[in-house]
Amino acid sequence: MKSLYKIALLLFFFPMDLLAQVQEYDISIAGISIGEMTATKKVTGEISQIDVKSNVGFWFFGKIELDLHTISVFNGKHFIKSDLKSKTNKGDFRSLITWENDHYKVNSRNYKYELDTEVQRKVFFSSASFYFEEPINVKEFFAEGYGLVCPVIKRKDHYEVNVNGNKNRFYYVDGKLDKAVMEFPIKNYLVKRKSK
């Protein structure tokens, strides 16, 4: 009984950050590193929160800089909220999605893109989910940056999604995201998991 009490005490005072799952990625274009991404997942009871932070900078007829921070929250499997903030040298933008009783309220502001709408059904996967869960049997997901519900298609060796006209591909090894090839108007970029 005493040892059970000690374990309970240890868990109570154990820093929650040490219980977080963390994935780190390099971001590159044509083999040249342009930035990094860190995805962190914390679970407290039924509530899980995924934080995705990325910082990129590269030259394309002028300097392009982007700091992105997405916070996505789930109640069990149910996606209930996301708050995406981006700081760029083209301005600052925000996309907010919130579950309200029986629908999502979407308010998205992106570079040359705006969307205010409602989605009248529950969704159980989001862009952030790809970093911690292979989308086996997942048919759709919420793209936080655009406030759109998009289909997930299983291909031979990857999963393909189409977000606002951009085709992105996710590759998994032993159930973990190994890399993602993201379509970008200038040139596709690669998100690759760092080896530990």
Q: Give 36-58 pLDDT, tens digit per residue.
A: 999 999 999 999 999 999 999 87
Residues 86, 110 contacting (CB under 8 angstroms): yes
* % the chain with pLDDT above 70: 87
Tokens matching residue 46: 């039924």
**How many C-beta atoms lie closer than 10 Å to residue 129's C-beta?**
21
C-alpha distances in Å from residue 24, one per residue of 18, 30, 158: 15, 20, 20
Q: Give 121-136 pLDDT, tens digit per residue.
A: 999 999 999 999 999 9
Mean pLDDT over 9-27 rounds to 68
> How does strand 78-88 pair with strand 166-173?
unpaired
CA gap 168, 181 in Å, rounded:
6
Q: How confident is the model at residue 62 (pLDDT cuts 50, 70, 90)?
A: low
Length of the chain: 196
Partner residues linked to 113 by β-bridges: 110
Of 109, 132, 106, 135, the C-alpha closest to 121 is 106
CA gap 122, 30 in Å, rounded:
38
Cα dihedral across residues 93, 51, 66, 113: positive or negative? negative
Alpha helices in the chain (DSSP H): 2-13
CA gap 134, 88 in Å, rounded:
30
Domain ranges for the chain, please list them: 21-193
Residue 6 dihedral angles phi and psi, to the nearest 5°: -65, -40
